[in-house]
Amino acid sequence: MVGGAASGKSAFAEQLCAESGKQKHYLATSQIFDDEMQTKVVKHVAQRGAGWTTHEAPFDVAPVLSGLGARDICLLDCATMWLTNHMLAEHDVADEQDRLLKALRTCSADVVIVSNETGQGIVPENKLARQFREAQGRLNIVLAREAELVVQVVVGLPNVLKGQIP
**Active site (annotated) includes residue 25:** no
Which are the contacts of 47, defined by CB distance < 8 A and separation ≥ 6?
10, 11, 14
Residue 101 in this model has a pLDDT that exceeds 90: yes
- Active-site entry in 25, 44, 86, 91: 44
Name the more confident of 47 and 94. Answer: 94
When pLDDT is averaged across residues 85-108 and rounded to a whole number, the result is: 97
Are 116 and 2 in contact by the 8 Å Cβ rule? The answer is yes
Note the pLDDT tens digit of each residue in 62-75. 999 999 999 999 99
Give the angle 84-89-94 at the CA atoms, nearest 5°.
70
- In which band, very low, low, confident or very high, does the pLDDT at 10 lie, cut at 50, 70 and 90? very high
CATH number attached to the domain at 2-162:
3.40.50.300
| Average pLDDT score, the chain | 95
Are 57 and 63 in contact by the 8 Å Cβ rule? The answer is yes
Residue 58 in this model has a pLDDT that exceeds 90: yes
Residue 130 in this model has a pLDDT that exceeds 90: yes
Question: Which residue type does 11 have?
Answer: A
Q: What is the pLDDT of residue 122?
A: 85
